[in-house]
Amino acid sequence: MNVTFCCTDTKAEPWLAGLRMAMPHASVSEWQPGAPPADHAVVWAPPQQFLDEQTRLKGLFNIGAGVDALLKLRLPPHAKVVRLDDAGMSVQMAEYVCHAVIRHFREFDGYEADVAHGKWSYRKPRMRADFPIGVMGLGVLGERVARALHQFDFPVHGWSRSSKAIDGVVSHTGAAQFDSFLASCRVLVNLLPLTPDTRDILNHRTLSRLRPGGYVINVARGAHLVDDDLLALLDSGHLAGATLDVFRTEPLPAAHPFWTHPLITVTPHTSARTLREESIAQIAGKMLALERGEPIAGLVDPVRGY
């Protein structure tokens, strides 16, 4: 079995060494233009030339959960697209989102500012019932996040295409229930894949439906959010703040207003990082299973877009 590796912005050596160790009978190499055809590929944002040359690929293993960048390209005709299926990301995402929610709910920014001025002050405790949280997308990551938020006794709502039965999470389904889902929430967490249906979904109309004093946490993709609409709703006072990990252009351009907005917390696309060892173990296991003709989890439906 020949495996080719083509991942932009990724140090190849440790991945090649890990893949060789996990699949000692495979030949694993970094792709170069003109390389012979491989059976499987490990990819992240590969150039179109790679896909055009590697026409015999049976599996394209993406080293992330989101496949929006890959699906924009022309893919080899018979390749199955496989996304990372958790591989240590869901616990990181739960940590990140719970941290952002609790920091806002408990007003830790305000306490930090007071302490910086040597001020010993108390704020009136807030009621969890006044902070219902909505999680958009209840897949591998969204479900884990919704369960973690429920553990802190917040009222939790979830929105997905198909109905879910998750303990402590009120399930809302499809376009018909989107507005009522939004109206139920004060804090909104986005964990949708980026598809033609979800691009620009966080916009003036939808964010206006959140309860007054709403808070937005975007950890999915920057193109879900209409930047100017968020800024307008923060300036009008309808929204109280936002934590943003993903942006339309990454790195976030130096002049972008998000950097300095007093109500926005920015992090550099770091809420759930790809963990190399877990990912290699998962990818190697699935490549070998595909070779044996066995079914695998995490197959992407290119028509659906995730």
- Active-site position among 157, 172, 186, 221: 221
- From 63-71, 112-120, 182-190, 230-238, give the range in contact with ligand OXD by CB under 6 A: 63-71
Closest approach of ligand OXD to the CB of residue 306, in Å: 10
Q: Which two tokens stand for residue 213?
A: 């004093």
Considering only residues 256 through 285, tell me which ones interact with ligand OXD, judged by CB under 6 A: 274
Give whichever of 206 and 218 is closer to ligand OXD, judged by the CB atom: 218
> What contacts 109, CB < 8 A, 6 or more positions away?
103
Give whichever of 54 and 206 is closer to ligand NDP, judged by the CB atom: 206
Our answer to whether residue 269 is catalytic in this structure is yes
Closest approach of ligand NDP to the CB of residue 55, in Å: 27
Give whichever of 69 and 232 is closer to ligand NDP, judged by the CB atom: 69
Which residue among 245, 279, 283, 287 contacts ligand NDP (CB under 6 A)?
245
Number of residues that bind ligand NDP (CB under 6 A): 29
SS3 241: strand
Which residue among 46, 64, 76, 214 contacts ligand OXD (CB under 6 A)?
64
Which residue among 6, 65, 189, 287 contacts ligand OXD (CB under 6 A)?
65
| Partner touching 234 among ligand OXD, ligand NDP, none, CB below 5 to 8 Å by kind | none
Our answer to whether residue 221 is catalytic in this structure is yes
Give whichever of 55 and 163 is closer to ligand NDP, judged by the CB atom: 163
**How far is it, in rounded angstroms, from Cα 137 to Cα 198?**
10
**How far is it, in rounded angstroms, from Cα 34 to Cα 281?**
28
Q: Tell me which DSSP letter residue 235 carries.
A: H
Residue 185 CA: distances (Å) to CA of 9, 35, 182, 227: 37, 52, 5, 20
- Active-site position among 78, 269, 276, 304: 269
**Contact between 192 and 224 (Cβ < 8 Å):** yes
Binning the chain into helix, strand and coil, the percentages to the nearest 5 are: 35, 20, 45
Helices (H), the chain: 12-22, 48-53, 68-71, 89-105, 108-116, 140-151, 178-183, 204-208, 227-236, 276-291
Q: Please tell me whether residue 66 binds ligand OXD under the rule CB under 6 A.
A: yes
SS3 292: coil
266 - beta bridge partners? 244
Considering only residues 150 through 209, tell me which ones interact with ligand NDP, judged by CB under 6 A: 159-162, 191-195, 197-198
Q: How far, in whole angstroms, is CA 91 from its chain's centroid?
A: 12
Residues within the interface to ligand NDP (CB under 6 A): 65-66, 89, 137-142, 159-162, 191-195, 197-198, 219-221, 245-246, 269, 271-272, 306
Active site residues: 221, 269
Residues within the interface to ligand OXD (CB under 6 A): 64-66, 274
